Amino acid sequence: MSQIPLVDLKAQYQAIKPDIDAAVARVIANTAFIGGKEVSNFEAAFAEFQRTKRCVGVASGTGALFLALKGLGIGPGDEVISTTHTFIATVEPIETVGATPVLVDIDPVSYNIDPNEVEAKITPRTKAIMPVHLYGQIANMDAIMDVARRHNLRVIEDAAQAHGAELHGQRAGAWGDIACFSFYPGKNLGAYGDGGAVCTNDDVLADKIAKLRDHGRTSKYSHDEIGYGERLDGIQAAILGAKLPHLDGWNDARRQHARFYDEALADAPGIHTPVAAADSRHIYHIYCIRVDGDRDGILKQLQARGVGAGIHYPIPMHLQPALSHLGHSQGDFPQAESAADSIISLPMYPELTGAQLEEIVVTLREVMGAG
Ligand SMILES: *Cc1c(COP(=O)(O)O)cnc(C)c1O
């Protein structure tokens, strides 16, 4: 029985090994470990890829969200509205800057923040909305931007799972004030360590974040405000630069695999495949299905038969012990709770083969008793 992992970083490295090895060797030969040309070249290339005016490379996706909040002047006394169905790194930076996260439920079809729920949570303290483009699908930005404009709120896009995703032909960073990316190794564009970036059309904000990431520096030993150690390093930038030309193709491969799953599972009883919004380019960071019945049992059987399935995410933010001070309890966000209890992520990465996809589908149908 072969093992099919959820994500296969080795397969990708094997496919582009000479380029990656050369990029790393070049940085070491130049001892350009922090800042420098590798970082600025990658920033220019990624800004072009996301079609924003500016990109500032930072140390992680979490750092990108933190610096976006800092850059927009959000802090103690402010409220930021975000989704309960996400990875905790969406919410942590809101706490880190001293603001209060205000969680809302999701739209059960897209799993993204429900714009109708956002408006009800706006108070005089609300400063920003932080939608997450979850699983690689841009959130309902038409509705979110409409709410934001009417209430004069900032919008910070958590685009950690959405490099190259589109809605109405526009990529993350075109909608809100700023989009925040993670280059965690398993993301659609992944470094070989930690990395992140912000993309924005706002020059003032980009300059501010570029200063904050590097100790508030104006020159080597002159600092005009307290900043942070949140720089992207040269080796990661060089690796990301070598990978970026492949990214649209890799995203296309993911979309093709998703179509295969969609079609092969369309008539399978008890399985609900994901739905991409009209006029959108979902880039399937995660291919998330819902199952009827005993989800945990189904997941265990899949794993026992060699299919590396997972759950993203099993516990919504409002039920996390770390966020118990927000005062939520079971039942507060029924759509997110229902999703958390019924979702399964199937293996998804560009290098998945036809034979692997077949095996996953056959195994899943057997487990579900569909034959
Ligand atoms: C990965 C991720 C982050 C955090 O990125 P790191 O680079 O790991 O700090 C934030 N938000 C979401 C939705 C993510 O998936």
Residues with CB under 6 A from ligand 1: 60-62, 86-87, 89-90, 132, 158, 160-161, 182, 184, 194, 196
Q: How far apart are CA 37 and CA 350, in angstroms?
A: 29
For the CA of 182, the closest atom of ligand 1 is 7
Cα(160) to ligand 1 centroid in Å equals 5
Cα(260) to ligand 1 centroid in Å equals 27
Q: How do the domains of the chain map onto residue ranges?
A: 9-105+112-245, 246-367
**pLDDT 10s digit of each residue in the chain, 371 long?**
579 999 999 999 999 999 999 999 999 999 999 989 999 999 999 999 999 999 999 999 999 999 999 999 999 999 999 999 999 999 999 999 999 999 999 999 999 999 999 999 999 999 999 999 999 999 999 999 999 999 999 999 999 999 999 999 999 999 999 999 999 999 999 999 999 999 999 999 999 999 999 999 988 899 989 999 999 999 999 999 999 999 999 999 999 999 999 999 999 999 999 999 999 999 999 999 999 999 999 999 999 999 999 999 999 999 999 999 999 999 999 999 999 999 999 999 999 999 999 999 999 999 998 55
Cα(369) to ligand 1 centroid in Å equals 36
Q: Which residue has the tokens 């099993």?
A: 314
> Looking at beta carbons, which pairs linking 47-51 to residues 24 or more positions away fall under 8 Å?
47/199, 49/163, 49/164, 49/171, 49/244, 49/247, 50/163, 50/164, 50/171, 50/172, 50/173, 50/174, 50/179, 50/199, 51/170, 51/171, 51/173, 51/174
Q: How far apart are CA 123 and CA 79, in angstroms?
A: 8
Mutate to test the pocket of ligand 1, among 85, 86, 182 (most ligand atoms within 8 A of CB): 182
Topology of domain 246-367, CATH:
Aspartate Aminotransferase, domain 1 (3.90.1150)
Beta strand 170-171 pairing with 166-167 = antiparallel
Q: What 3 state SS string does 136-193 have?
A: HCCCCHHHHHHHHHHHCCEEEEECCCCCCCEECCEECCCCCCEEEEECCCCCCCCCCC
Q: Give the angle 68-74-75 at the CA atoms, nearest 5°.
A: 125
Sorted by sequence, the CB contacts under 8 Å of residue 344 that are 6+ apart come out as 288, 289, 290, 291, 295, 298, 299, 302, 309, 310, 311
For the CA of 132, the closest atom of ligand 1 is 13
Candidates 3.10.580.10, 3.40.50.20, 3.40.50.920, 3.40.640.10; CATH matching 9-105+112-245: 3.40.640.10
291 bridge partner residues: 271
